[in-house]
Amino acid sequence: MWNRILVPHDFSPCAERALGLATQLAQLRRAEIALLHVSNLPENMSEETFVEPASAGVAMSVGAFTTRGALARLEEIAVPLRTLGLSVATKAVTGDVADEILEAARAMKSEVLVVGTHGRTGLSHLLLGSVAERLVRRASVPVITVRSESPEAQLTAEERAAEDELDG
């Protein structure tokens, strides 16, 4: 069984659901959990772009700003897991979500990925892509996908309208 579990976390309900399964697996094997958040920056914006957030009071790179905030949230998520006696590492990076998850899995020597998926289909899947699908296709370790039961897995009004228009 697995001793190192990587859980990519985008702070969504489906990521929380995946974390719940990963926690159960970790408790069974006293495995380590690594929580990873990947910030995908807008097109044409690099990590080195400087911003001056009101909360920081000084200019800082957008990469540092996004990873700092994400890491703080991951640390909050890790607290109850550590209370259970689990070993939990946290990491936040910026870049292409699937590529960064695969790189972290390799670097951390993860033995399994537990990934939440929004379960989108049709046009929304085509337009938005699927990080989970890319991970399943490219990972060198097993990938457990956990589908969301939350309303966010449903199509948005815009996605439904676009699919209706394509269907005629």
The residue-averaged pLDDT of 36-58 equals: 77
**CA triplet 75, 79, 84: central angle to 5 degrees?**
145
Q: What is the pTM of this model?
A: 0.79
Q: Are 22 and 158 in contact (CB under 8 A)?
A: no
The residue-averaged pLDDT of 18-47 equals: 90
Q: Which domain holds residue 48?
A: 4-167
Q: State the average pLDDT for the chain.
A: 83
CA distance 161 to 109: 43
pLDDT attached to residue 133: 86
Residue 49 sits at φ, ψ, to 5 deg, of: -60, 135
Helical segments of the chain, H only: 13-29, 62-83, 97-107, 122-128, 131-138, 157-167
Q: Is a pLDDT exceeding 70 seen at residue 148?
A: yes
Number of separate domains in the chain: 1
Domain CATH number, residue 72: 3.40.50.620
Provide the pLDDT confidence category of residue 126 given band limits of 50, 70 and 90: very low
Closest CA to 22 of 120, 108, 144: 144
Give 159's contacts (C-beta < 8 A, 6+ positions apart).
120, 122, 123, 124, 127
Q: How far is CA 113 from the centre of its chain?
A: 11
In 3-state terms, what secondary structure has residue 1? Answer: coil
Residue pLDDT, tens place only, 82-107: 999 999 999 999 999 999 999 999 99
pLDDT attached to residue 128: 40
- Tokens 């670097």 appear where? 107
User: Beta 112-117 vs 143-147: how paired, if at all?
Assistant: parallel
Residue pLDDT, tens place only, 50-72: 767 777 677 877 778 888 899 99
Provide the pLDDT confidence category of residue 117 given band limits of 50, 70 and 90: confident
